[in-house]
Chain A
Amino acid sequence: MLSCLKLPLTFDPQGLKADLDKISSDEWVRHFNDRYYEGEWSGVALRAVDGVSTQLYSDPGKDEAFTDTPVLGRCPSLQRALAALECPVKSARLLKLGAGARIIEHRDYNLSLDDGEVRLHVAITTSPLVDFYLNGERVVMNPGECWYINANLPHKVENRSDTDRVHLVIDCKVDDWLRSVAASASEQIEPPRVSLASDKDRPSSPEALDRFCNLVFEDFALQGRLRQVIDRELFVDLVVRLGEEHALTFNAKDVDEALRANRRAWLERWL
């Protein structure tokens, strides 16, 4: 499974930036998924269901009537960028991560080359102080570059700079053209080094998990790291890996069962 690829497609960074100036500040709408970010994360749709520029939701797998929005109509460089993609383009959005804002680690689903539908990123304005991590590895995307990002993998972004970071984010169908572009990509990032903790080589040990929990109760730094993760699956994985770092080996099933047992104890509190 590929984590990301820099595609051999380059767009005019100055032109794209000039297009951004054609969009007024009140046309940006807050991202709907407000559990996953802190600070400003907003967007403008360029292609959306029914051509509505405030419709930011792009549902993977759904083939609804995605059409151009009026905003795209006044942005020639963005039009050229989308026209350069020969594969079917579903949604296209400008997504802005404000200065100082961050997106907490999460995964999206059904968005990889293997799923037949992918998410491409074209950086427009960015900074060396933007940290984009995909599967635990930093990926640097420069203005004008076009990247395939496997959004099924855990990813997070932190904009530590004092300027907004804006990407053109495109969801499109995988066809022969896109496959050939991907195959000829020069800069490939190897399959993930950090993979989700596999249970194959880890024995079950609820006792080790108990000991790890006791460690956590006393370790504020460890607590801080664990509280960052909202996604349950990513959380289970992190607990297993942190356990290992503290020489306590247990598996994901142990964590899963502890989560369920606590839930049960709460739900059955009056029995």
Chain B
Amino acid sequence: MSINAHHLSGWIPIRIYFKERRPLVDWCWIGTRRFSEPFFDHTIDACQRLPFSNLFRPQTPIEMLRERHEIQPGLEPEGFIFHMSRCGSTLVSQMLAALPKNVVISEAGPIDSVLRAKFREPSVTDEERTDWLRWIVSALGQPRAGDEKHLFIKFDSWSVMDFLLIRRAYPAVPWVFLYRNPVEVLVSQLEHRGAHMVPGGIEPEHFGMKLDEVFQMAPEEYCARVLARICEAALQHHESSAGMMINYDQLPEAVWTGVADFFGLEVSDADMETFRLVAKVDAKNPGLGFESDSRPKQNKANETVRVTAARWLAPVYEQLETARLSSSEA
């Protein structure tokens, strides 16, 4: 195939995978579509309803991302969102995405594939992953509709385990970490689990665990310990490279009273109106309104959930609260 980097304007990498130990990229036509859906995958699903985007699927070596980066670098990220999952992070990303001047990439599979490439192919070095991360962010973070100026990335919750690598690629980008009362997160995850809440869904080594160990844990314990590892990673890096800690209880106001300013985003009166409108709808189910569901979540928690949360998550939650409150006083 003689496809070159110039041919791929208007196309987007949707999948990165290994074939005969070589990393490859699948591209899909996106045109001028904005990332307005709650998650990257939803937008790609919507793209593929056009038969053209479904049929024509260029496949290139990963180096094509470097060539694209060189000729069309796109927007530099201005804020990263890390989170423990089920804690309002999608509300934050949806509020930012509602402003036409922003591009928000939410939990993009290709970013996750790059970060966890070391598990798929052990010969991949940290230098390669750092380069790939910069290239893939550049390919995803393009202005498409016309006048987008700011790029924000919401990572998968488990990506914070790769914080140092992300920091190496982007040493100065401000970051926030969202968290929530552990009982409420556990209740939500046990009702409907994310990929990282199923033993083996994410490589146990990613969380410093062993394969045979995770299969012996009770489901509540596995979930709680993974969530604890995610929170501990955020806390640890908060000490060396200050991010902003945000508790679910501060939403949605924290977006305009804290996050926007921290990310250097100017908020006009019209933007405020948009924020308030988006905050009125549930981020993951646009048909429902957003309102704190702490009480029903607390009511659903059984004794096992409470004991498990207290043992594995309460200490780190307290530390996160201390870190948040001490930096807001400073």
Contacts and interface: CB of A to CB of B under 8 A. Distances in A.
Interface string B45-59: 000101110111110
B55 A259 contact: yes
Contact of A213 (B14, B44, B48, B56): B56
Given A259-B55, A263-B48, A218 B15 contact: no
Interface string A196-220: 0000000000000000011011100
Contacts of B50: 227, 230
Interface in A222-271: 223, 226-227, 229-232, 235-236, 239, 255, 258-259, 262-263, 265-266, 269-270
B271 interface: no
A95 B51 CA distance: 28
B144 to A, nearest CB: 15
A102 B186 CA distance: 52
Nearest to B8: A217
Interface string B1-34: 1110001000000110100000000100101000
A262 B57 contact: yes
Nearest to A258: B55
Given A230-B51, A265-B15, A218 B26 contact: no
Given A217-B56, A218-B2, A265-B15, A232 B7 contact: no
Given A227-B52, A262-B55, A263-B54, A217 B15 contact: no
A33 B42 CA distance: 22
Contacts of B7: 217-218
B109 interface: yes
A219 to B, nearest CB: 9
Given A217-B1, A218-B3, A227-B29, A266 B52 contact: no
B172 interface: no
Interface residues on B, range: 20 to 34
A229 B51 CA distance: 8
B195 A270 contact: yes
Which of A217, A218, A230, A236 is the most central at the interface, judged by chain B CB atoms within 10 Å of its CB?
A: A217
Which of B7, B48, B51 is the most central at the interface, judged by chain A CB atoms within 10 Å of its CB?
A: B51
A265 B26 contact: yes
A74 to B, nearest CB: 39
A12 to B, nearest CB: 43
A217 B58 contact: yes
Contacts of B48: 262-263, 266
Contact of A232 (B14, B51, B58): B51
Interface string A153-168: 0000000000000000
A255 B58 contact: no
A259 B1 contact: no
Contact of A259 (B26, B54, B109): B54
Contact of B52 (A218, A223, A258): A223
Nearest to B51: A235
Nearest to B53: A227
A236 B54 CA distance: 11
Which of A232, A236, A269 is the most central at the interface, judged by chain B CB atoms within 10 Å of its CB?
A: A269
Interface of A: 213-214, 216-218, 223, 226-227, 229-232, 235-236, 239, 255, 258-259, 262-263, 265-266, 269-270
7 contacts: A214-B2, A214-B3, A216-B56, A217-B56, A230-B50, A263-B48, A263-B54
Interface of B: 1-3, 7, 14-15, 17, 26, 29, 31, 44, 48, 50-52, 54-58, 109, 195
